[in-house]
Every structure is written in structure tokens, then in C-alpha cells.
Amino acid sequence: LDIRISENKSIPMNEIKKLYVIEWYGPYDTIEELYQDDATTDGSIYLITGKERYERGCEHIKYVGITKRDPAVRLNERDHREKQAKILRKKYWVGRFSKSSNKNNRAHAELIESLFIRFLYLQEVRIINDKKLKRAPNSPLTVLNRWILKCADCHRVNKPSRLTDLPDVLLFDGEEYWGSDKLKFLNVE
């Protein structure tokens, strides 16, 4: 992450008034697999990972999207299948707002989509959807990403490598991005 530090080693920060916890289920190899998992029906954010034909290296995030409907239905629509056609080795991830976030509405999903797309763009991740690249989110916010095994309500111990471009904690203070990755399991009992 590109973080500027002033001469006195402190950076003034705007107050963070919005905090979201997103529970990510996946990876799903096919859209049909999504239809079979009831945990994804109320998801409002989704990621597609993979790579394009000319890309070298490992798979990474290629698409960030939102939907009001079941993500499987949205991903299976003709216009969306055409967008996905250039992605090889696709894996699907469906995110839903944690019940503690209590923010499952379109405006909040769009804010997070904008945050992710702009952040990935600034990190020079080649994603295929180019909407929302130009503007940063309009207010300071923090997103905590929790990675959950598909078809089971169990936390992942390690985030899959194809998701390394998206930090586990992403904070936008209104001007700059801050992130922390590799949240660790701490068994204190």
C-alpha cells in the first residue's frame, strides 16, 4: 500500500463512521455450484478470480460486482456471461454483509464495490470491469473481509492466494488507503 508519511511522522485521519464486515463464501468452480449453496442467496457482492489468456502468473481478482438478486442468477445472465468469457480458470466468491453490519442495502454495496474497484485499480490489478475507477468513495470507511469455506460455516485459516490483492482489513480515510492482511487465528484458551 502506498502510504505517505509527513515530516513529524503522523498523518491526520478523518473519523471513520462506516464499518462493514463482509463474509465471503467460496471458491465456487461453476455458477451451478452457487445455485446449490443456500448461504449465497442473500449475497450482494461478488468477485470473480482467474486470468485472461495473455496474462502470466497466478490467478487474481478480475471482476467485482454487486446485485440485489441471488448472485447465481446475476452471474448466469447473458450479458454477464459475455463479460466473463475472457476470464480463464474462473472461481466465484460471494460476499454478504455480516448480520452485525446490518447494512445490506444497495447504497452500502455500491460504496464497497467502489472502494474495492478503485483500490485494486490503484494497486495496478488488471480487472475487467472499469466502472467506478475514476472516483474514490465519498466518505471514510473500513471493510473487514472474513473468508469462509463454501457449504460450511467454518472460517478459513488462510486466505487463498488468488485473493491476495484484497486485504483482510481495508480502510479508506477519505484520502488514502490503509490495509492489513493475514489475520491470524489466535487460540488463547
Measure the CA angle with vertex 111, ends 108 and 112; round to 5°: 90
- The predicted model scores a pTM of 0.85
End-to-end CA distance of the chain: 34
Residues 21 and 123: their CA atoms lie apart, in Å, by 22
Residues 82-126 have pLDDT tens digits of: 888 889 999 999 998 887 665 657 888 889 999 999 999 988 888
For the stretch 62-74, pLDDT in tens is 999 998 888 888 8
| Share of the chain residues as helix, strand and coil, in percent rounded to the nearest 5 | 20, 30, 50
- 123 residue type, one letter: Q
Beta carbons within 10 angstroms of residue 32's beta carbon:
10
Greater confidence, 151 or 117? 117
